[in-house]
Amino acid sequence: MGKYDVIIVGSGHNALIAAAYLTRAGRSVLVLEKNDRPGGFLRTDELTLPGFKHDVFAAAHPLFTTGPAYAELREDLEKRGLTYLNTDLPTGVSMEDGRTAVLPTSFAALIEEAERLAHDDGLALAAMFEQLNPYVNDVFGLFNMDLSSPEASPIIKRLLHEEGGSGYSPFAASIVTTARHTVSSLKSPVTRAMLASWVTHLGRTPDEVGSGIWVPLTTMALMGGGMPIPEGGSEKLIHALVQLIKDQGGEIVTQSLVEQILVENGKAVGVRTAKGRKYFAKQAVAATTTPDQLYLSLLKDTEISPPLRAQAEKFRYGRGCVQIHLALSEPPQWPDERFHRVGQPHLTDGLDGFTLAIAQGMADLLPAKPTFTVDCSTNLDPTRAPEGKAIMRLQVLEVPIRPRGDAANQIAVGNGTWTHDLTERFTERVLDIVSRHIPNIPSAVIGKYVVTPDTIARFNPNAGPGDPYGGAHDLAQSYLFRPLPGQPGHQTSIPNVYMLGAATWPGHGVNGGSGYIVAQKLLAQ
C-alpha cells in the first residue's frame, strides 16, 4: 500500500526524464513498468551472436542531446556512465546508380557538397534556410513547451501571422507544403533524395501535406546535433537515468502492468496493477500511453465526456517498421570512403522511387523496392562487436503492419502475419538492394535478427498494431490535434492525470521533450 507524490506509468526515456527532474526536486516518485527492465524502445541486446550489441529499436539521439533535458542533466548522467560518440557527417544518401552525397554538420561544407552535385544548388539550399531563419528560435523553443499552454500561445500567434499585418506568415504557409515542393528548387536528384527522405522518420511522407516544413527543420537538427550514439549502446541512456532516479530516492518496479488509474471525486488517487496491487499518488499520475489506451482502458471505469472518448476511439496508427540487425565478419566496404563516417545514410533510387515504395506500403503491399537507412554503430563504437567485426542495422519504415500482398508479386503474404517465411523473403529483398550499394554485403553477414511490426506490437502497447511512432503523424493528428483535438496538450480531462511519450507533442523519437514538459508542469504546482 505505497503512497507517493507522483506515480509514472511506463518507463520509456520520457518517463525517466520526468522522474529524474521530480526526484531531484525532492518529490517521491514510483515508476511502474510492464517489461523485464526499464527503457521502452531504448534497449540494447546481443541479438545475433555473442559480443554483438545491437540497439533493438531506437539508436541515435540527436534531438535529445540538443534539448534542455540533456543540457540540465548531462553532468549527472555522465557521472553515471553515459558517454556520447558523434560524427560530423550525420547522414547522406547512396543512389542505386552509384552517385552519393553527404550532409555535414558544417553549413559551409553542406553548401559546397550541394554545389558539387549541381550548380546553384548551394544558393537554393541557403535560401531554404534563410526563409526559415526568422522563425527558427521560436520553432525550436516550442519543442519544449506544451502547445496548449499560455506560454506557447503568443509564440504560435507570432509564427503564424505577419507582424503588423492581417495576413498569414510565410511560415504558416510552409506548414501545409509537401517535402517534394520544399526540395523542388534543388536541381540535383541526389540532394533532393537525401533531404526529403528524412520526413519518413517523422511519420510523414514526401507528398503529404505538412511534410515540407520538416525538411529544413530536420536538416538543421542534424547539422546542430550530428548523429550521437551512447557508447556501449542506446540503453546506456536508460542505465544512467535509472541510477540517477534511484540515487535521488525514486523507485522503479518492473514486470508490473498497470491496468487502471484509480479516480475519486474527479481526481486520480493512484493505480491498480494486473496483479491487484494498488499504489497511491498524492499529487499526480503521469502515463506513458496513447489516448485510446488511456480513455478506453486505464480510465474505462471513469466518467469521461462522450466526445473525448469518441475521439480516443478514432485515434489512428501509422505504418509499420522492419529493422534488420546484422552481425558482420568485417566492416561494410562502402565505395565512397566518407560513408565510414556517416551516421545514418539512406539507400535509394531517388525521390520518385521512394514515393512509389511508400505508396505501395500505404496500400498494404510489401514495397517492391524499399528505401531505408543503414547505420553501422561500430564505425563510432568498436566496443559494440568483437575486434575486427561490425554490426549493421537496416531500418525500413514504409512497410504495412498487415501486408495484403506484394507489389512485386514475388512473396506470398498469407494472412498478413509476419511469419518466419514472410520475414525471411522480405529480408532477402532488402539485402539484395544493399548489395548494389555495399559490395561485401551480404557475403560479410554472419548473423541476423529481424524486428517486424508484430515484434514491436508485442513489446510495447504504445505501438498499437505495430506502429513504432505511437500513432499516425499526419496533419489531422499533429501539433494541437495531438494527442486529441479535445485534449491538445499533456494534461488530460482528469486534472491531475498527465500523458507523455510518443503520442504527445513533440512526438516520437529520442527527444525527451514530453518528459521535460510534464516535469516542468508538475514542478510548477
Whether 505 is covered by a domain: the verdict is yes
- Residue 89 inside a domain? The answer is no
- Which pairs with CB-CB distance under 8 Å and at least 24 residues apart come from 99-102? 99/190, 100/190, 100/335, 100/336, 100/338, 100/339, 101/188, 101/190, 101/191, 101/194, 102/338, 102/339, 102/342, 102/345
Mean per-residue pLDDT, 246-256: 98
Q: What percent of the chain clears pLDDT 70, i.e. is strictly above it?
A: 100
Whether 215 and 114 share a structural domain: yes
In a domain, 274, yes or no: yes
| Total tally of structural domains belonging to the chain | 3
Structural domain contains residue 115: yes
Identify the three-state secondary structure at position 381: coil
Q: What is the pLDDT, as a whole number, of residue 163?
A: 79
Say if residues 393 and 99 touch (Cβ distance below 8 Å): no
Q: Mean pLDDT score of the chain, rounded to an integer?
A: 96
Q: What is the pLDDT of residue 1?
A: 55
Could you give the CA distance from residue 25 to residue 19 in angstroms, rounded to a whole number? 10
Domain end, chosen from 225, 246, 270, is at: 225
Give the position of cell 526536486.
25
Same domain, residue pair 455 and 358: yes
Cell numbers placing 452: 517486424
Among residues of the chain, what percentage have pLDDT more than 90?
Answer: 98
Cα separation, 410 vs 406, in Å, equals 7
Residue at grid coordinates 499520475: 285
Check if the beta carbon of residue 514 is closer than 8 Å to that of residue 504: yes
- Nearest CA to 325 out of 49, 40, 141, 41 is that of 49
Q: Is the pLDDT of residue 341 over 60?
A: yes
Helices vs strands, H then E, count in the chain: 18, 20
**C-alpha cell, 77:** 548522467
Shared domain for 341 and 408, answered yes or no, is yes
- Average pLDDT (62-83) is 97
Are both 143 and 166 inside the same structural domain?
yes
3-state secondary structure (DSSP) of residue 205: coil
**What pLDDT was estimated at residue 165?**
72
Show the beta-strand stretches assigned E in 265-352.
267-273, 278-288, 320-328, 342-348
Burial class (CB in 10 A: 0-12, 13-18, 19+), 29: buried
pLDDT by residue (tens digit) across 406-422?
A: 999 999 999 999 999 99
In a domain, 341, yes or no: yes
> Is the pLDDT score of 161 beyond 70?
yes
Cα 54 to Cα 57: distance, rounded to the nearest angstrom = 9
- Please choose, from the candidates 431, 367, 371, the residue with its C-alpha nearest in 3D space to the C-alpha of residue 405: 367
- Which residues span the domain enclosing 518? 3-41+63-81+234-316+471-523
Please indicate, yes or no, whether residues 310 and 326 belong to a single structural domain of this protein: no
Domain termination residue (choose one: 207, 225, 243): 225
Does 16 share its domain with 120?
no
- pLDDT over threshold 60, residue 130: yes
Per-residue pLDDT of 301-338, as tens digits, reads 999 999 999 999 999 999 999 999 999 999 999 999 99
Q: How confident is the model at residue 398 (pLDDT cuts 50, 70, 90)?
A: confident
Cis ω for the linkage preceding 104 (within 30 of 0): no
For residue 90, being part of any structural domain is answered with no
Query: 372, 429 in Cβ contact below 8 A?
Result: no
Q: Is 163 a domain residue?
A: yes
CATH number of 513's domain: 3.50.50.60
> Is the residue at 91 inside a domain?
no
- Residue at a domain's end among 436, 459, 482: 459
Give the SS3 label for residue 91: strand
Same domain assignment for residues 371 and 409: yes
Say how far apart CA 156 and CA 159 lie, in whole Å.
Answer: 5
In the three-class reduction of DSSP (H, G, I as helix; E, B as strand; rest coil), residue 298 is classed as: helix
SS3 label, residue 487: strand
- On whether both 444 and 351 belong to a single domain, the answer is yes
Which residues are CB-neighbours of 512 under 8 A, at least 6 positions away? 13, 14, 17, 63, 64, 67, 69, 70
Domain co-membership, 206 together with 189:
yes
Per residue, the 3-state secondary structure of 144-174, as one string, reads CCCCCCCCHHHHHHHHHECCCCCCECHHHHH
Alpha helix stretches (DSSP H) within 263-419: 291-293, 306-313, 351-362
Q: What is the mean pLDDT of residues 448-463?
A: 97
**Are residue 414 and residue 481 in the same domain, yes or no?**
no
163 and 74 co-located in one domain: no
Q: Which tens digit of pLDDT belongs to each residue from 74-83?
A: 999 999 999 9
Residue 424 CA, chain-centre distance (Å), reads 25
Across residues 179-207, what is the average pLDDT?
96
Q: Does residue 217 sit in the same domain as residue 329?
A: no
Q: How far apart are CA 206 and CA 467, in angstroms?
A: 19
